[in-house]
Amino acid sequence: MSGVAKEYASALYSLSREENLEPEILGEVRELIIIFDENPELIRLLSDPVISKAERQAAAERIFSGRVHPYLLNLIRLAVKNGRIGSVKEILSGYIDLWYRYSGITVAEVESAVPLSLEQKNRLHKALEDRFGGNVEMHLRVDPSLIGGLRVTVGDNLTDNTVRRRIDGMERHLKQTVI
């Protein structure tokens, strides 16, 4: 995350924490990420240099006023004013990261070739909590290209025990072997 995005995310989190609004803001932040993901033209509109800053800020006001908490509306206005609206999803994701950190929750991104059964999910969840000590929230994703096994990412820690990784390793080894 860029330094500027961290500053914006930290400021928003500090405000929401002081006012005990973290859950409310968190929910709206998640909704905004979806809105911006599904409507990339919205960021283009709010960052279009052909349109004056005042008009872009007014557009943001019309779009979001009454639909998001005033702190989030102010964040969007400020991002438009300072030419940072292109980083808005990074800022919002930074808020979520801070919420997890201060809530003592570790996020594990889990990729598997096929959907995991309930029993597999439960065993994996328990193993991750034992390994990382505490509450773990798993975000599961299916990626058939992995062929089999799991890839688990927690922060900067990657555990790749997939068939795809093993095949790629064998392929590299075979290419390096001189016959």
**Contact indicator for 137, 105 with CB cutoff of 8 Å:** yes
Where helices occur in 19-52 by DSSP H, the ranges are 22-38, 40-47
DSSP letters for 80-112:
HHTT-GGGHHHHHHHHHHHHHHHHTEEEEEEEE
Q: What is the band of 179 on the pLDDT scale with cuts at 50, 70, 90?
A: low
How far apart (Å, rounded) are the C-alpha atoms in residues 96 and 166?
34
Tell me how crowded residue 5 is: count the other CB atoms within 10 A of its CB: 20
Give the tens place of pLDDT for each residue, 151-175.
Answer: 999 988 999 999 888 888 888 888 8
The CATH number that domain 3-101 falls under is 1.10.520.20
Pairing of strands 149-154, 157-162: antiparallel
Between 173 and 15, name the one with better pLDDT.
Answer: 15
Task: With residue 60 as reference, give the H or E element that holds it.
Answer: helix 53-64
**Residue ranges per domain, the chain?**
3-101, 104-176
CATH for 104-176 (4.10.860, 1.10.10, 3.40.30, 3.40.50): 3.40.30
Give the tens place of pLDDT for each residue, 65-83.
Answer: 999 999 999 999 999 999 9
**Six token digits for residue 30:** 């998640």
**Does the reported pTM lie above 0.85?**
no
